[in-house]
Chain A
Amino acid sequence: MSTLPQETSTLVNMAVSQINAGIVILDEHSNIVLWNRFMEIHSGIKSSEAVGNSLFELFPETAGSGIEKKIKSVFLLKNLAFTSWEYRPYLFKFPNPRSVMGGEKYMLQDCTFSPMTDESGKVTHICLSVFDATNTASFQQKLLRTSASLIKQRNKLSALNRKLEEAQNQLLQSEKMAAIGQLAAGVAHEINNPIGYVNSNVSSLEGYISEMLKLLSAYEECDSLLDHNHELAQPLKQAKNDVDLEYLKEDLTDLISESKEGLVRVKRIVQDLKDFSHVDECEWQATDIHQGIDSTINVVNNEIKYKAEVVKNYAELPLVTCLSSQINQVIMNLLINAAHAIEEHGIITITTGTEENGIWLEIEDTGSGIPEEKIGRIFEPFFTTKPVGSGTGLGLSLSYNIIQKHKGKISVESELGKGTKFHIWLPIDAGITHDLDTGASTIQAKTN
């Protein structure tokens, strides 16, 4: 500054004093050498009081927060150091001069530490400039708040959108289900008739064949009588050999029993389809769930007795208003699935209990479990992992719909290799609220 002409030097001093920013000059011990008017006004500390004091003694709150290192780095590296209101709202705790209008309590500041060098290039002092960033900051914060609320609104909107999509999907799904239901009911009905007479014919056939075989055996007893009549015996023996009578007898029985098995399967599928389309609807009535479980076990005992031991842990249960045949249907599905999941021999545990105006029952098996990527799909109609012929993939979807209709909940837990547990909760009096709104669907189902 000594090289400046007198007049310019005065002007520079004036500028330092008048500039609308804080200017502080520090020496290498962080002692204040210059304290401009801006600093005087906002700190309330006169230049005469500030000069000669250490920055950290005058403003102890600035110590121990990295400022020393900033100053040291400027001295050592001749670089610039900064503080920004975003990360450090202020270096000096000055009241916000606009606080009359509300807003920030303190002046937000951007500060820069710059090196001042002598002729040899050595840093002798630091010029600390303090800029009032309150306006920019509050503007930016307002912007941030606005964009945050915009984001919130957008999220709300997209959530709504998602819900709408879901609702639409559900609508589509239920329409699809209704169509499938109608189709199923039609198919079931159409198949039922021919299956009926094929079934009775096969039964008759079985009877006739066993009679015929009896008769044939009786004839064979007489074979020895022909021994001396070579002319008669020879062609008979030839004919017997030609048709391979022994094989024929064996195969006939096999064929009949296989056909019967096939018919049972067809009947099961037809029954599933019928159940699925609610062809056999019954009345809402107070039901003893345990009785329902027991009779269902009896019905399916053939399917499970070789596979699993059934363990019952029954609690005391109130009567539950439900469509009992449908609840039985659900239990049956779960039991059969459990038996299917058990490879060699296992345990099926049925546990019941009460909870929150309702009852729950759990059917747990020690079977193969359900892999994670499949568990989300098991309630889908036609989802099955079983070979063609043994699974329709309708059991669980039907069960799900039935439980939904009862305003209940069905959930599943499974561990691969350990087993699977289905949990069902039913309200005690779903029928009361259901009488009205299922009336329509009952009638519709019956006309199917």
Chain B
Amino acid sequence: MIKLNEKFNEDRRDALQEVVNIAMGQAGDSMAKLFDTFVELSIPKFHVSNIDQLRESLAGKEEYREKMTVLRQPFSGELEGEGITLFNTSGTHELATLMGYEGEITLNNEREMILDVCSILVGACLNGIASQLDMSVSYTAPSVVVANTGIADFFTAGSTNWSYALVMEIRLTLEQHSFSSNMLLFLAEDSFEPLIQRLDILLDEL
């Protein structure tokens, strides 16, 4: 941990925060165009965390205690990790029109819809970061991990294959729609080195 904090020193943190802020702005813009509605993305704070710390910090937060559907969107390349999106499925019917579904919404439609939102959200945020840092990233299909559970139960030891990750929490809110969703973006330990290199290049350019 100490070593990690050294790696992500203040300069690099500031640089990363700047990159992330810009990326969120772009992502919010594009998503607003996509959904034709005002989209609010919270500016994420990031922290390096191991699985126990993460579970503890999640369990402490009110919004993660409800039962939710958990989706995962893995990504790989120079940026490697996973985007975990949490939906409170009670708001998903609202989404149907936004996502261009006509007629009755089946459970399968609903699932595909939230999977779409998951990959849109992860893709929009991550692409912005990757393109600024000139890093490659590619995606595999997202999947439903668990339906209707508390998120803290999901992060139990052995359920993930990383020990440390850079975690960002991002909240998506669609104005005028009662829909909101939380996303946790995990950058795996393997991405730390290349990420730091790119951040240093960025810092040098200043």
Contact = CB atoms under 8 A, between A and B. Distances in A.
Nearest to B102: A64
A66 B141 CA distance: 16
Nearest to A78: B127
Contacts, number: 78
Interface in A152-206: none
21 contacts: A64-B102, A65-B101, A65-B102, A66-B109, A66-B112, A67-B100, A69-B99, A72-B34, A73-B116, A77-B27, A78-B127, A79-B119, A79-B120, A79-B127, A80-B139, A81-B116, A81-B120, A82-B141, A84-B143, A87-B111, A87-B115
Given A64-B102, A78-B123, A79-B127, 11 more contacts: A66-B101, A66-B113, A69-B34, A69-B100, A70-B116, A73-B116, A73-B120, A79-B124, A80-B138, A82-B116, A87-B109
Interface of A: 64-70, 72-73, 76-84, 86-88, 110, 112, 121
B33 interface: yes
Contacts of B142: 82
Contact of A79 (B99, B100, B113, B139): B139
A112 B112 CA distance: 13
Contacts of A66: 99-101, 109, 112-113, 116
Closest A-B pairs by Cβ, 8 of them = A79-B123, A64-B102, A87-B112, A69-B100, A82-B141, A87-B108, A76-B30, A77-B124
Contacts of B27: 77
A121 B102 contact: no
Contacts of B103: 64
B57 interface: no
A84 B101 contact: no
B70 interface: no
Contacts of B123: 73, 77-80
Interface of B: 27, 30-31, 33-34, 98-103, 108-109, 111-113, 115-116, 119-120, 122-124, 127, 131, 138-139, 141-143
- In this complex, which of B100, B108, B111, B127 has the most chain A Cβ atoms within 10 angstroms of its Cβ? B100
A88 B139 CA distance: 20
B173 to A, nearest CB: 18
Contact of A77 (B31, B98, B100): B31
Contacts of B131: 121
B127 A77 contact: yes
A82 B102 contact: no
Nearest to A72: B34
A70 B103 CA distance: 18
A84 B34 contact: no
Given A66-B113, A77-B124, A79-B119, A84 B99 contact: no
B139 A64 contact: no
A87 B116 CA distance: 12
A92 to B, nearest CB: 16
A88 B116 contact: no
A64 B100 CA distance: 6
Nearest to B108: A87
A190 B132 CA distance: 98
A77 B120 contact: yes
A76 B34 contact: yes
Nearest to A70: B116
A112 B111 CA distance: 16
Given A64-B102, A77-B30, A77-B31, A84 B112 contact: yes
- In this complex, which of A67, A72, A86, A87 has the most chain B Cβ atoms within 10 angstroms of its Cβ? A87
Contact of B115 (A82, A110, A121): A82
Contact of B100 (A68, A76, A86): A68
Contacts of A110: 141
A79 B138 CA distance: 9
- In this complex, which of A76, A79, A81 has the most chain B Cβ atoms within 10 angstroms of its Cβ? A79
A67 B108 CA distance: 14
A67 B99 CA distance: 9
A67 B27 CA distance: 20
A73 B98 CA distance: 12
Contact of A76 (B33, B122, B139): B33
- In this complex, which of A64, A69, A72, A112 has the most chain B Cβ atoms within 10 angstroms of its Cβ? A69
A81 B111 CA distance: 14
Nearest to B106: A87
Contacts of A81: 116, 119-120
A308 to B, nearest CB: 51
B63 to A, nearest CB: 25
A193 to B, nearest CB: 67
A84 B139 contact: no
